[in-house]
Amino acid sequence: MKAWLYSSTKGGLEKNLVFSPDARTPGSPQGDQLLIRVISTSINPADYKAPAMSTVCGKVLIATTPASPGMDFCGRVIAVGSDPAARQFTPGQLVLGCLGMPRQFGTLGEFILASANNTAPLPLGVDPDAAATIGVAGRSSYQSIVPYISTPGSRVFINGGSGGCGVYGIQIAKLLGCHVTVTCSTRNVQFCRDLGADEVIDYTAQDVLEVLKSQGQVFDHVVDHIGSPEGLYQECHSFLKPGKVFVQVGASSMLTFAHRLIRPSLLGGGKRKYVALLMKSHNDEFVQIANWIREGKIRVEFDAVYEFEDTVRAFERLRSGRTRGKIVIHVTSPGSEAA
């Protein structure tokens, strides 16, 4: 199969990616696994951050190299495993899903083995490119907001409104009837407003923390995709209501997560409950988000769509930190025949 492979992340994942026209295939599906030919994948910061952690964590994340990066996918089922969960799918069926943490056979290879528990049928009328953005960005936004909102009119603050997760987060929060405040740069202010944000804080022109603190304890929920500015969690009691939750989805480094998790309030830590999001497998979330897209209730914003041969350029774009929405890569054509 064709695949983009890496054996090292020294100097950055994108500098180590090598195209192989005849890479080893992942084999036959076992148990709850599905063998899937990938049509489209979207890439996320975790696709380059997690493999790089292998130099710190040994072989916890990537057991075998060379490996292909990528977790999100939309593709076509080629074969199914023997478990009842896998038997709910049929060869030829279009599906969407997510592989979870990076592994040897990622979605930047032509074929993958995916768990049936992380895969869902593609609803009719949903474009494969749009479906490929749901796995990480769509579900992390869903899981960081929906379980915490019980009342329409709740005020939600999303730190980082114009990236892949932020775009989903704004729209999901608005579907729940929330008042949404976000941060972004000057060039993305109108973009975030067009997505439904009620208030936008331009971090290039304003002190985000001071703006939030000046409003008082008005927010019912906080979602942080950025991990900055310094002190955002430590001082969130100034703008987040008592008993409410600060959810960390993304950060510039794992140290941000660790620091916020273990530092007690007596030593300057935060005074509100802190949750570092660890995504759970719920197939119904794939279907719910895909149906919102089909119904026009959520629009998928593409920063760029690349062909498979331009994968390195796609990662360079993602690394720039200036993406607006999602980056998608075409792996195979939708009409590809079974292996």
The pLDDT value recorded for residue 21 is 97
pLDDT: is 219 or 269 the higher one? Answer: 219
The pLDDT value recorded for residue 229 is 93
Q: What is the largest CA-CA distance in the chain?
A: 61
The pLDDT value recorded for residue 251 is 63
pLDDT in tens, 56-105: 443 435 557 899 999 999 999 999 999 999 999 999 999 999 997 778 99
pLDDT higher than 90, residue 333: no
The pLDDT value recorded for residue 282 is 85
The pLDDT value recorded for residue 269 is 62
* CATH code for the structural domain at 3-133+300-330: 3.90.180.10
Rounded average pLDDT over 125-148: 98
The pLDDT value recorded for residue 54 is 57
The pLDDT value recorded for residue 321 is 84
Is residue 103 within 8 A of residue 69, CB to CB? The reply is no
The pLDDT value recorded for residue 261 is 56
pLDDT higher than 50, residue 310: yes
Domain boundaries, the chain: 3-133+300-330, 137-276
| CA atoms 154, 158, 162, 167: torsion sign | negative
Domains 3-133+300-330 and 137-276 share a fold: no
SS (H, E, C) the chain: CCEEEECCCCCCHHHCCEEECCCCCCCCCCCCEEEEEEEEEEECCHHHHHHHCHHHHCCCCCCCCCEECCCEEEEEEEEECCCHHHHCCCCCCEEEEECCCCCCECCCECEEEEEHHHEEECCCCCCHHHHCCHHHHHHHHHHHHHHHCCCCCCEEEEECCCEHHHHHHHHHHHHCCCEEEEEECHHHHHHHHHHCCCEEEECCCCCHHHHHHHHCCCEEEEEECCCCCCCCCCCHHHCEEEEEEEEECCCCCHHHHHHHHHCCHHHCCCCCEEEECCCCCCHHHHHHHHHHHHCCCCCCCEEEEEEHHHHHHHHHHHHCCCCCEEEEEECCCCCCCCC
Q: Mean pLDDT score of the chain, rounded to an integer?
A: 91
pLDDT in tens, 244-266: 999 999 765 555 545 555 554 44
* CATH code for the structural domain at 137-276: 3.40.50.720
Name, of 44-48, 218-222, 247-251, the range with top average pLDDT: 218-222
